[in-house]
Amino acid sequence: MEKIRKPGRQRRREDIARTRFLSTCGWCGKKLGSNEEVFTVGGKMNEAIDMENLQGKVLPYTLPSQHRTLTAYAPTSASLAKQQGQDIVFMLCSETCCLELKKAMAGERRKASREDFSKSVSMKSGGSKDASKRRAKR
């Protein structure tokens, strides 16, 4: 007779994450009832992140400026969300939470864009300062 193997620690973590994703609002943390209406917000990940191995898994999604880590789901290639171009999906309890999440994600994108822009500007301005110092030495 074959022994039934208990799931390992990793499997238990995945089960806990999946249960949390399905039973808790991804933004405010409110418990979702089994007969309650739920809302979803999808998102696109940076192209540098390979989502292929993450499909069908629940994963943490960090919003650094909010000091929050949310629970997201990476849809499988056969899902409607993936076919619509979504790399991750959040389950939420209300339209208010949807708006708050969208606002926070937009803020993260703006912050990242500003940081990229300021890095490129500082690199350019740093170069001109160096050039002016070199000219002064001559």
Percentage of residues of the chain with pLDDT beyond 90: 29
76-86: average pLDDT: 90
Confidence at residue 73, expressed as pLDDT on a 0 to 100 scale:
92
| Domain limits, the chain | 9-137
* pLDDT per position as a tens digit, 11-30: 787 887 888 888 899 999 99
Residue 89: count of CB within 10 angstroms of its CB: 19
Radius of gyration of the chain (CA): 22
* pLDDT per position as a tens digit, 94-115: 999 999 999 998 888 887 777 6
Helix (H, G, I), strand (E, B) or coil at 83: helix
pTM of the model: 0.70
* pLDDT per position as a tens digit, 30-66: 999 888 899 999 988 877 777 888 898 998 888 888 8
